[in-house]
Chain A
Amino acid sequence: AQSVSQHNHHVILSEAASLELGCNYSYGGTVNLFWYVQYPGQHLQLLLKYFSGDPLVKGIKGFEAEFIKSKFSFNLRKPSVQWSDTAEYFCAVMWGSNYKLTFGKGTLLTVNP
């Protein structure tokens, strides 16, 4: 079955620390990859997406993600986090083209000032 794994349930960092959140999916074929973010009290927002081309994708607010096809991974990174990055982050994968996304369970990021 198609599945998405996010390795960390809760990550706690201090401001200015670097961030890497892991995401792996179950098997290959053609995939489109997404990271969504949910800030406290707000709804899910698209952070970045990969459809094709350069496997290093840049998104909003200084986030980037790298698609490594051989590892079935799409890890999210940010070189220096801010308190305002405190949120829950969801990785999602689309197999096919109908935007039926399979989400991971999410990673809660807490950034301490």
Chain B
Amino acid sequence: DTGVSQNPRHKITKRGQNVTFRCDPISEHNRLYWYRQTLGQGPEFLTYFQNEAQLEKSRLLSDRFSAERPKGSFSTLEIQRTEQGDSAMYLCASSSPDRGLIFGPGTRLTVT
């Protein structure tokens, strides 16, 4: 398999701007997850999809965050009106029963 890919790898934006990240999971995986990791912390669950259905959202995911997976393949995570506290690494993962979660390289967001 080609692994999980994420774009862009780095994003610098000014406070108040909107940003969108993309994740392409491993093609045969029907579950896709978004996590966020800040400095000195482990990854924190944000949301996950089974095919195109968003099945769970963390309380960490404020109204400014929205995630979609329109055709059950790639997913996007949008943050509106970014704040400095949104600066973090955003991780995407897909899963298989025998391998567990396979993570992508992440998108590092810096809000100035």
Using CB atoms and an 8 Å cutoff, list the residues of chain A in contact with chain B: 4, 34, 36, 42-46, 49, 90, 92, 98-106
Output the least CB separation between B33 and chain A (Å). 7
Interface size on B, residues (CB 8 A): 21
Partner of A46, one of B48, B56, B102, B105: B102
Complex interface bits, B69-112 against A, C-beta within 8 A gives 1, otherwise 0:
00000000000000000000001000100011111111000000
B62 contacts the other chain (CB 8 A) = no
Nearest chain B residue, comparing its CB with the CB of A34: B100
Which A residues are in CB contact (< 8 Å) with B44?
Answer: 103
Complex contact B42–A104 (CB within 8 A): yes
Complex contact B102–A100 (CB within 8 A): no
Nearest chain A residue, comparing its CB with the CB of B41: A105
Cα distance, A98 to B94, chains bound together (Å): 11
Cα distance, A100 to B95, chains bound together (Å): 10
Which A residues are in CB contact (< 8 Å) with B43?
Answer: 44, 90, 101, 103
Cα distance, A98 to B48, chains bound together (Å): 9
Which A residues are in CB contact (< 8 Å) with B91?
Answer: 43-44
B45 contacts the other chain (CB 8 A) = yes
Complex contact A99–B41 (CB within 8 A): no
